A and B are shown apart, each in its own frame.
Chain A
Amino acid sequence: MICYRCGAEAKEAVRCPACGADLSLFRTVKSLSNVYYNMGLEQAGVRNLSGAVVSLKNSLKFNKYNIEARNLLGLVYCEMGEVVDALSEWVISRSYQPEDNLASRYLDEIQQNRGYLDTVNQTIKKFNLALNYCKQDSRDLAVIQLKKVLSLNPKLVKAYQLLALLYLQEGKLEQAKKTLRGAGKIDTDNTMTLRYLKEVNARLKEKSPSKKPKDDDLISYQSGNETIIMPKRFKESSIGSSLLYIVLGLVVGTAVTACLIVPNVRNQAKEEASRQVLEASDTIATNGQTIKELEGQIDALEGQLEEEKDNNAKVKEQISSYETLLKAYVSYHENDITAAGAALDKVNTKYLSSSAKAIFKGIDEEVQGQYLDALYEEGYNAYQQGRYEEAIKNLKKVIKEQEDYRDGSAAYYLAQSYRHNGDLKSARPYYQYVIDNYPNTQRALTAQNYVNAQE
């Protein structure tokens, strides 16, 4: 024994050899714990599991380090189908005594059998669901769930008890009795099981009193060693009356079949059908849940797909911007300013890295002036030679980059090209620009004349 005061090993001594503390009281407590453990062991041996749980809990209240009592408590819980409680006791036991402990073996066995743990968890969830169904007054669904629970975990005593309670409530006394016997096989002296069984037996007794009807029409007497029983009134019957009795018997038999047996069979068939409907609705509900989950997954995946498509488009745009910048760079080095400027116009700087943007800016500053000159020259020459559409295309590009290019010359010739092309409506804003920004010039006067003529 370890001294409570100094922690030294005291073995069997009444006083601690190290600090002299009195250990007699602790020895008494320890022996009380052992008494309860022995009681629990005995009860577990005769399958009085609920009694064993009480005794073993008492044992641990006196000495929490009673490893054997704790391991046995876990084992009893496991036998009653309460696997989580069993696991808790074994984990605590192992933390108190990591070496040479049976709990380690139990825990290892359960951990190695992952499927068993999953099944146990499934049964627990189903039991809790059944309990909820009971509280919501859906007893039929609760019965179905509890049957499933017991098929998966035939040791769960409280599932038997709840099922028996449901049968009792529905007046299915024989089924309740059978279920309670199942619980009794696992835990013999469970108070709740015994109380329900008593109730079932009492109701069964009420239903079919075992009173033997006294038959006044019979007489019995002893003849030697034999007892003779015979009707009081014995009358020989003729063939006609016998036939009449047979016919009457057949009629009565048919009537009984039609009135009693057929409705009963029909009711049974109806009950079976409604049970199947309930099972089917339960399955449908479960499947519905699964479908919802899968639909959710599909939505999430579709969202991801859309996102990936967007990303893909952005990446393509980015690649295209870099390729165009490269083309502009090459054209610039070959002194093809027009091609370089046209390529730079197509570059989307949003997708460029900061270093690529710097390259773009450098080329753009070099090219822009020369590019506009080249564009203007091409546009002006096209105008002079009567190729107005080509002139419009080039001069528009110039205006887009620099509206006041060469003191409004680009705007003026763009307006003129539109006019010669027969599109006075498009020409007007550019004439107006010349009138507003360069008044008192020959071009402004000419522009004003054309505007007035249009009005």
Chain B
Amino acid sequence: MINFEKELKNFKPSLEVEDAESVIQNHDLTDVTDIITEVLRDARESTGR
């Protein structure tokens, strides 16, 4: 049985065109490659020490 109030919470306001700039600026662009590079760099530094 669908609960209207509960379902309503699943709907979020859409982003307006004026907000596009802030969305792009706050976009998290970290990917797995970044994470691996970071891990490898840390490992290399600790070995170097």
| Chain A residues at the B interface, C-beta cutoff of 8 Å | 4, 25-26, 29-30, 32, 60-64, 82-85, 87-88, 91-92, 117, 120-121, 124-125, 127-128, 131, 134-135, 158, 161-162, 165, 168-169, 192, 195-196, 199
Known: A26-B36, A84-B20, A125-B16. A61 touches B31 (CB 8 A): yes
Q: Beta-carbon contacts of B1-45 to A below 8 Å, as 1s and 0s?
A: 110100110110111111110011001011111101100100000
Which of A88, A127, A134, A192 counts the most B-chain CB atoms under 10 A from its CB? A88
Total interface residues in chain B, CB < 8 Å: 27
A contact residues around B34 at 8 Å (CB): 64
* 10 CB-based A-B contacts, threshold 8 Å: A32-B32, A84-B15, A84-B20, A84-B23, A92-B27, A131-B13, A161-B11, A165-B8, A168-B2, A168-B4
Give complex CA distance A67, B34 in Å. Answer: 16
Are A124 and B1 interface neighbours, CB within 8 A? no
Question: By the criterion CB–CB under 8 Å, are B2 and A64 in contact?
Answer: no
Q: Are B11 and A131 in contact (CB under 8 A)?
A: yes
Known: A4-B36, A29-B36, A87-B20. 11 other contacts (CB 8 A): A26-B33, A26-B36, A64-B29, A83-B17, A88-B20, A91-B24, A124-B15, A124-B17, A134-B11, A161-B11, A165-B7
Number of inter-chain CB pairs below 8 Å:
85
Q: Which residues of B contact A199 (CB under 8 A)?
A: 1-2
User: Chain A: which residue is nearest B23 at the CB level?
Assistant: A88
Q: How far does the Cβ of A298 sit from chain B's closest Cβ, in whole Å?
A: 28
Most buried by A among B4, B14, B36: B14
Q: Which of B4, B30, B32, B40: most chain A CB closer than 10 A? A: B32
Taking the nearest CB of chain A, how far is it from the CB of B22, in angstroms? 10
- Residue contact B14 to A124, C-beta cutoff 8 Å: yes
Check A165/B23 contact, CB under 8 A, given A25-B36, A84-B16.
no
Q: Which residues of B contact A124 (CB under 8 A)?
A: 14-17
B-chain residues with CB within 8 Å of residue A87 when the two chains form the complex: 17, 20
CA distance A30 to B33 in the complex (A): 8
Q: Could you tell me if B36 and A162 are in contact, using CB atoms closer than 8 angstroms?
A: no
Task: Give A83's nearest chain B residue, CB to CB.
Answer: B17
B29 CB to nearest chain A CB (Å): 5
Q: Roughly how many angstroms separate A199 CA and B7 CA in the complex, as a whole number?
A: 13
Take A88-B20, A165-B2 as given contacts and tell me if A128 and B33 are in contact as well, using a CB distance cutoff of 8 Å. no
Q: Is the CB of A84 within 8 A of B14?
A: yes
Contacts of A32 in B (CB 8 A): 32
Q: Would you give the shortest CB distance from A31 to chain B, in whole angstroms?
A: 12
Contact status B27-A29, CB under 8 Å: no
